[in-house]
Structures are given as structure tokens and as C-alpha cells.
Amino acid sequence: MLSNNDISNEEPEPKAPPRTPAKDRGSLGVALLRIALGVIVLVTWWDNLTKDNVDSALGLYSGDAFEGFMNWLFTSEADGGNGSSLGFYEGFVDNVLLAAPGLFGGLQLVIELLMGLALLVGAFTRLASLAAVVFFANLFLAYFGGGEWIWTYVLLTAAALAVFLDWGGRKLGVDQGLAQSRGESFMRLLW
């Protein structure tokens, strides 16, 4: 015979959905978006490196050209510049980036190249796409209020964020093999 203690009106606690295995994350659509972002970054990097109007083997990444570009961003359109209007960002550029333009130009040369290659082949995609979010958001701030159509940078930032959130390297990328052979990366930030 059953007692009242044996019968429970409580419903069982719902179980959390199982985690998607590391090797099965990502989607084809986001992988294609990742590849497109890689191509965009690399084409822009190459264009900046081979500028005809810059007298340096490093193109816009040389100290003088980098400084000139940063100054152009905040020069008014009437004076031939972009006319960016964010004073706090201009202060950051003046006090941080232009304090060592050769260093930051060189860093940008290397970071853009590595970021573009990583996105293109899907290697360390989580880290590369997070770097791309910061990179494109900075471009948005740098061009804000000027003659450039800033919504390009909003779209690029959103695309890079989608690649990060949807594990964009787990399909058609090196990260897919890394996830299959090694499982999750440290803090899930590399692949």
C-alpha cells in the first residue's frame, strides 16, 4: 500500500539541455562570413602597405604615414581631412597613439596581417574575431562625425561579433581540427 510520502505532486526538475560538443559548433554561414572578413582585412592591409602616395616600404604603417593618417582623421573636411568629431577619441589618439606612431604603426601592420590570416583560414578564430570586434569598433570611433560612411564599421563589427559568438572557425577552418583533436581551448578563447 502507498502512503502519502510515496506520492509526490512535485514535477521533476527540468534538466539543462546537453552542451553541443566542441567539434560540432559553428555553422557554414558564419564560416563564410569569417572568410569574407579575412579577405576584407587582408585586402585592406595590402592596400595600406602598398600606398602609392606614401614614401615608405611600410606604406601607411610607417611612423610618419601613421601619424599623418591619424591627424587627417580629425582635420576638418574644409581643410582636406575627414572631420571626425569625437573629442575624447581624438584625445586618446593624440596622447596614446601619436606618442609613439612608429610603434603603433608597426603593431597595426602585424596585428592586421595576423588577424586577416587567422580569419581567412579559421585558426584561433575566437581570439581573431574578438580582436576584429575591437579593431572595427575603433574604426567606427575614429571616423565618427566625419565624411566617411561609418555604418560600414557597424556592419563589420556586427559580423566579427557573429563569428565570435557562433564559433566561426569550427566549420571550414583549422579550429575544426583543433577542436576534434584537442577539445576546448583555454577559456574557450582560441578555437
- pLDDT (tens digit per residue) in 17-59: 666 666 677 899 999 999 999 999 999 999 999 988 787 889 9
For 35, the domain range is 25-188
Q: What is the mean pLDDT of the chain?
A: 90
81-85, 93-97, 127-131, 177-181: which has the minimum mean pLDDT?
177-181
Contacts of 55 (CB under 8 A, 6+ apart): none
pLDDT tens readout for residues 139-159: 999 999 999 999 999 999 999
Judge whether residue 10 has pLDDT over 90. Answer: no
Residue 82 inside a domain? The answer is yes
CA distance 66 to 127: 25
> What does 32-82 look like in DSSP terms, one character per residue?
HHHHHHHHHHHHHHHHHHT-TT--STTGGGSHHHHHHHHHHHHS-GGGTS-
Rounded to two decimals, the pTM is 0.84
Please give the pLDDT value at position 6: 55
Residue 10 inside a domain? The answer is no
Residue 1 inside a domain? The answer is no
Residue 175 inside a domain? The answer is yes
Residue 121 inside a domain? The answer is yes
Residue 55 inside a domain? The answer is yes
Judge whether residue 61 has pLDDT over 90. Answer: yes
Residue 5 inside a domain? The answer is no
> Per the structure, how many domains does the chain have?
1
